[in-house]
Each structure stands twice: as C-alpha cells, then as structure tokens.
Structure 1
Amino acid sequence: MTDPQIALVMLGLFIVLVFAGFPIAFTLMAMGIGFGYYAYYDEGRMFRGLNRLAEEAGGLERFQATLDGYFNNNVFDLFINQTYTVMANEVLTAVPLFLFMGYVVERANIVDRLFSTLNIASKNVPGSMGVAALVTCALFATATGIVGAVVTLMGLLALPAMLRARYDRSFASGIICAGGTLGILIPPSIMLIVYAAASGTSIVRLYAGALLPGFLLAGLYMVYIVSRAVLQPSVAPKPTRDEVPDMPLGELLWLLLTSFLPLALLILAVLGSILGGLATPTEAASIGALGGLVLAVAYRALTFQRLRESVYLTVRTTAMVCWLFVGSYIFSSVFSYLGGEHLISEFVTGLDLTPLQFLILAQIIIFLLGWPLEWSEIIIIFVPIFLPLLAIFEVDPLFFGILVALNLQTSFLTPPMAMSAYYLKGIAPPEVRLVEIFKGVMPFLGMVFLAMVLLYNFPSLVYALPNYFYGN
C-alpha cells in the first residue's frame, strides 16, 4: 500500500470513528500521532546516539536507552511544535475574550428587557412579535456568538409569549431557530476568527466582508416574516391592547435607551474599533469583555456565581477549540506528508471543474458535513482540505470564507440533525412537536440558499466594505 493510500485510509478511519461517537479532538491527535509515527519513521534517528550507550551499558540502562530510541520520532516534535503554535496564535487569543463577553451578557438579564421593548416599539408592524423576536435574536446572537445559548434563552422568553399571542407554532419556532444562528455570520463572529486562524485570511477583512451578507440574510428573514404575516394573518395575529399596551413616546424612548442602546453600543464599539483600525481583534475583544462586565454591573446582574459560571464556560469552550486546532494541525500535517492532500488535489483537478462547479461541490460537501458535525469541527478539520484548491480554481479565500459562514447556518437548521431545533425542543412547551419546529425552519433554510446565490451573482456584497476600508 502506498503512502497516499494510507493517507486515505487515515481519513476514512477518522470519519468512521467520529460517527462512532469518539471525542473528535483526541481522535485527531491519536490518529495523527499513530499514523505520523509510521510517516516520520527513521531508523537511523531512532538509534543514532543511543547505540553506543546501549552497547556500553547493560541491563536496565540498555533497555531504557532502547526505549528512548523508539520515542525518538519526528511526530513527537511535531506534536509539541503544533501545540505551541496554537498557544502563540494571536488571532485565537480573541476567542476566549469574545466568549467571556457573550457569557457575561447572556447572564446580565438584558434579553428580556430588549424583547419587551422591541415588541412594544414594533406593535404596528405586521408580525410585530416575530419581528421583535428576530431583532432580539440577531442582536443577542451577535453579542454572544453562542447559538445554543441564544436559542435556549429566546425559547424560554419569546416562544411562550408568541404562543400566548396565538402565533402558529411552526412559524414562531422557525423565527427563533433561524435568528439564533445569525451570530456565527454577523461580526464579531467567533466562527470567522477560527476560519481566519485556519486559513491565514485577515480577520479584519473577513469582518468587513461579512457585514453586508449578514445584514442581507437578516433582511431576507425579516421580509419573509412580514410578508407571511400580511399574506396569512392567522399565523401571526395582530396583538391586542391587553397583550401589548400603548405607551407614551417618552417612556418608550427611555426603554429603548436603557435596553436596546447599551448592547448595540457595545457591539458597535467592538466592531468599529476593529474595522476602523483603532484596535486589533484581541484588543477589541478585551474592550468587549470589559464592556460586558460594565453592562452586568449597570443592570445589577453581576454576582460571583454568574461570574464563576461565565469563566468556567469560557475556559471549557476555549479548551475545546484549541485542542481541536492542535489535533487538526497534527492530522493535516501527517495527511499532507503522506501525500493525501496531493492525491485529493489531483482528483479534483482531474474532474475539470469550472470555478462555479468547484464552489458548488465544496458547499454541498460542507452542507452534508453540517449534519453530524459542529461548525468548529468543519472549519478546523475539513475546510483546510479545500484551501489548497482555492488557488487552482482562482477562488478568493475571503469570498470562500463568507460563503462557508453562510452555508454553516444550514448546519443548525437542516433536519434530521438541526441542533437549533433540538435546543428549542428541549425547553419548549410539550405541545410544540419536533416535526413542527422542523417545518418552521424550512423557509428560513430557503432564505440561506437564496442569500448564497445572491452572493455569488453579486460578489460586491462581500468586497465592497473591505475594498472601501482597506483597498483592493
């Protein structure tokens, strides 16, 4: 068996083990070290410098020298170097800071005020409660970037209110599931940070490029909600005065000032400092983490218990991402050294695809991977397989990254493994069935595909802001 064939066996075995339920990060490391021991095996290195000691020594010392020789393999140097590379990666430093900001904001009791205020402010808009839920989801998801937390919290807060207002169960569920996933696309997105670290793309240009597509997708969601409420009023009845009371303009402005504005300003400060070149992503994330603490104090929601939970969840999630990077780096290095990357490149180029066909094929594969895998695993493990092919098909990594970010919305919305639906079902009232939630997310899934088509046909949606701020 040739080395490239062994590389394909390595990849196939990894996929089998993932589906069998083994921890992905440690499976990557174990397989990388195991196959890497074969790939980097050098008999001369193993015993060079130790033979003389083994000859002169005897008994236990000779056995120890021989044992040391078996561990004298380049794969262990690779493991140490890749671990250090991840620890020294300045881009990844922003991940725990943004996570901490999100977890603190999540526990600051901001969302209930925000949803109530937006519900009152939009009461004359068709599907007003759905509009308020979507805007709250989008703003909260942008601030946290944690899909599960947004969907769960909004499911506890907004879904019961929408059901009491006689909203269709599928329609209401779809709004919350789709709105909760927007945080992995709209900056400051943790997913884009991870993609930047994996691909070497500028995170600043990625943030600028993701803004318009993110607003486009949120706008498509909004158009669908309002249009559906107009064309089919029974799915989103107009609220009664008892459900949403009238409020003087001054009081409404005060509510907006104290609920919507602080969170919006925090996001704008973080994002504006990055796009304006005033701070690096890591420095801006530090500002965001401090701002989250200030908001929690201002809302009198900062307690030692909540702070401890935020720190614990931040450390746990960061450790998962970083170990995934370590495992992925080792796995991909060995896979490439054995010739697997070259074999895949030859196979894909042999198909004689056009750039459009390559993009469609890559997005279909990522779409299918979204069923069993989380976005972090797809970005860290599988997207790097496509990256060497981008130059062959003259695809810009920036454009490809935004397409992937859009596509990964589907990984949370596509049955049978739609994680947003399962998050919502876990806390929804018993009468809300899982099949109804699946039915509700399908139109939003169509909006994602529409946004991807628009993005390909109008690439200026991606390039306009990066070129305006930073040149071509």
Structure 2
Amino acid sequence: MTDPQVAILMLGAFIFIILLGFPIAFTLIAMGVGFGYYAYFTPDQAFFDNRVFYLLTQNTFSVMNNDVLTAIPLFLFMGYMVERANILDRLFFSLQLAFRFVPGSMAIAALATCAMFATATGIVGAVVTLMGLLAFPAMIKAGYDKRLSAGVIAAGGTLGILIPPSIMLIVYSATAGVSVVKLYAAALIPGMLLASLYGAYIISRVLINPSLAPKLTREQTEGVSVLQVILLMLQAVVPLATLILAVLGSILFGLATPTEAAAIGAAGAALLAAAYRAMTWNRLKEAVFLTARTTAMVCWLFVGSWTFSSVFSYLGGEHLIKEFVLGLDLNTITFLLLAQLIIFILGWPLEWSEIIIIFVPIFLPLLPHFDVDPLFFGILIALNLQTSFLTPPMAMAAYYLKGVVPRGSIELVEIFKGCMPFLMLVFLSMALVYIFPQLVYWLPDLFYGN
C-alpha cells in the first residue's frame, strides 16, 4: 500500500472504532501513535527513538501552553456555578410575567430563559434538563401543546453553542487560528437572528392557532402590578444579564482578553451563587470537579487530534482529500454546501467537540482555494451544529428532555416532531447568512475594521 492509501485506511479505521463506542480522545492518540510509528519508522533504531513519541509530547505541551484554551476551564466554571445558583426558577417566573400579554407567553418566556441560561452556561444538557423539569410541566399544566412546548425547550437549550460567550467558538478559534474576539463579534447577530426566528415562529403559530397556547388565566395575572414585575426582573434577570454583558462587553470592546473576561465571569458567577445563598462547599467542589473533567476531555481531544492529523498529513492523506475535492470542480457555494452537509451528517453520531477538533481541520486547507474566510466558515458551522441536537434519530436535546419529563407525558416521537419546525428555522438562518454575509461581518468590521 502507498502512504496515502495507509492514511485513508487510518481515517476509516478511526471512524469504525469510534462507532463501536471507544473513547474518542484515546482512540485518536492510539491511532496517531500506531500509524505514526509506521510513518516515521527507520531501520535499526531503538523502539522509543521513533519521532512519533517526540510528536506526541510536543503536541501535549503545545495544548497545555495554548493561551486561547486557558479560557475554557474558566468559562466552564462560570457555567457550572450559574447552573448551581438556583436562579432558573426565578428567571422563568419573572420572564413569564413580563411576557404575559404576548401570544404564547409561557413559550416565549421559556425560550428567553433557555437563551439566557444557555448563554451563561454553554452546557446544552444542563439547560434542556433543568428547563424540562421546570418549564415543561408548567406549560403542559397551562394547556400548551406538547410538541410546541418540547420544541421550544429543546431548540432554546442549544443556543449557547452559537451565542457568545460560546465555548465552541473558543475551540474553533484554537483549531482554525481565528481570533476569538472576532468570532464572538461575528456570532452575535446570527445568534440573535436565530433566537428571533424562534420567537417569531412561536408568536405567529399561536396567533394562527390560539388553542396551542392558551392565555394565562385572570387568577394568574390578577394582582400583579408593573412594579412587582420590575422588582422580579431586577432580582432574577438583571444580575445574570449583567454578568453576561460584562463578560461579552469586556471582550468585544477590547477591555479584556477572552481569558481575563472568563476569569471575571467565573468570579461573578461565584458571587451570584453566594448572593442567591446557593454557594455551598459541596456545590463548589462539584463545579470544580466537573470543570476539571470537561477541560481534561477537551485538552486530550486536542492532543489526540493534532497527533492524528499530523500523521495523516505526513502520510499524504490531506493532500489526497484536497485533490479529490478539487477534482469535483466545485464553486464556492457548492463547496460550502458540501462541507455543511458532511458536518450535518457527522452531527448525528458525534458531539460538537469531536467535529470541530477532528473533522473541521480537514476542510481548513481547502478554504483559501475556494476563497472562503475561516471566520465566515466558523459561524456557518456554529449554526449547523444546532441541528446535531435537534435531528432524529440522534437528537440529544430530545433525549435529554425525554429523560426528565414526567413518565407518559410525551413520547419521544412527539418531541422529534416538535423539534422539526425549529430545525427548519436553523436551515433558514443558514440560508440568510449565505445570502447576506454582512450578518457575520458587520460587527467585526465595525469594532475592528476589515
């Protein structure tokens, strides 16, 4: 076999092994070292003199020394502390009263709560699970349609992948070598656009068919003054919104680096938990443990991916794939469509972290040929990854929700059907970004110039 054929065998074997359920990070390292030993082998050398071991140690050091990745544990800690601050029920209740005159008020409140909480935590499973426990039973009790209620929670819970400060964008930044600050600026309008499309869909659907979301009863709204609503918003919404805006604003306006802003966010989340009297030793210990575990997973994914991709490229696999794609004679639009279709399909069996760290680097060398900006490409991927949580049969948001709702209240198929309209809205937002690229470029150009 030629070296490029060995590289393709390496990629195929990796995909087969992870589909069997083996840990992805260590599979990457094992495959990289195994095939790398063959790639770098020279006769008459001692076993540990093979250059693949030097490559592995250098990649490990590079990952641990990466300034961009330092922000990940801090943002994770911020998210885990916000999750444990016992703020979600107050947030949902206050937004529900604030939107009480809007059609589908509870659904709109659930969407706004999901968006804020997902943005603050960046943890899809936590947002969908907690909202499934809190908002879904309340919406069903109020007579809301099951599918609409499930779709709102599942779709709203995934917005934290896209809306800054997103951990996914930090990982993409480290992978593609794009500025995190510019990525955050570029993602803001598409993220708000997608959330707005969700809200517009809910309101229009309820206006067409009011039986899907009955209005709040007089008993629920009677005696609630504007002053009470304002006080509730000040207690529940304003502190979390202030924390998010402080972190995001300090990054966008150049007052702090992403790592410094993440540190501010982590400290602010801890203070927020203390202010809500939710700071206990056990919760702090649990947040630190979860932060360390998730950070270790991401870092070892990077170590494995960089080792795997280095060996894959050395064997000529990257060049072979590039020649194959160029041989298809694609234009820029068809290349982007093909790339997004592949990422859409990969989203079924894989998490977003694996897609970004392992498979996105395959597309990056092709971007200059098709004159595609890595910044623009990253935002399209961030939008596309929303679909991985909403698309059957592996719609993880649906499984998170099904796992916590009362037994017999809704079937998994109904949750899938409830997600479908929101999935179509993700595709619509991607189309709008294709057609109007200034949705991505306007804020980065405004803040930082061309």
User: Under TM normalisation by the shorter chain, which class is it?
Assistant: over 0.9
Show the counterpart of 2:301: 324
Separation in 2 of the partners of 1:297 and 1:416?
41
- Cα deviation 1:279-319 (Å, max 9, x = unaligned): 00000000000000110111111000110110111111111
- Equivalences for 1:7-406 in 2 at 5 Å? 7-43=7-43, 46=45, 69-406=46-383
Separation in 2 of the partners of 1:226 and 1:320?
40
Amino acid corresponding to residue 58 of structure 2 in structure 1: N
The two structures, once aligned, show a CA RMSD in angstroms of 0.7
Separation in 2 of the partners of 1:250 and 1:125?
18
- Cα deviation 1:397-448 (Å, max 9, x = unaligned): 0000000000000000000000000000000112211011000000000000
Shift in Å, 1:17: 0.4
SS of the residue aligned with 1:301?
Answer: coil
Shift in Å, 1:244: 4.2
SS of the residue aligned with 2:401?
Answer: helix
Amino acid corresponding to residue 340 of structure 2 in structure 1: Q
Separation in 1 of the partners of 2:366 and 2:223?
58
Shift in Å, 1:245: 4.2
Separation in 1 of the partners of 2:99 and 2:253?
32
The answer on whether the counterparts of 1:97 and 1:285 sit within 8 Å (CA) in structure 2 is: yes
Shift in Å, 1:243: 3.6
Show the counterpart of 1:59: none
1:466 to 438, 444, 447: 444
Show the counterpart of 2:427: 449
Separation in 1 of the partners of 2:322 and 2:222?
62
Amino acid corresponding to residue 467 of structure 1 in structure 2: D
The answer on whether the counterparts of 1:363 and 1:407 sit within 8 Å (CA) in structure 2 is: yes
Report how many aligned residue pairs link the two structures.
449
Amino acid corresponding to residue 127 of structure 1 in structure 2: G
Amino acid corresponding to residue 74 of structure 1 in structure 2: R
Unaligned runs of 5+ in 1: 47-68
- TM-score normalised by the chain length of structure 1: 0.94
Shift in Å, 1:109: 0.6
Where in structure 1 do 4 or more consecutive aligned residues deviate above 2 Å?
A: 241-246
**Residues 1:420 and 2:397 aligned together:** yes
Show the counterpart of 1:54: none
Amino acid corresponding to residue 230 of structure 1 in structure 2: L
Show the counterpart of 1:5: 5
Shift in Å, 1:39: 0.4
Unaligned runs of 5+ in 2: none
SS of the residue aligned with 2:218?
Answer: coil
SS of the residue aligned with 1:290?
Answer: helix
Separation in 1 of the partners of 2:230 and 2:193?
27
Shift in Å, 1:43: 2.2
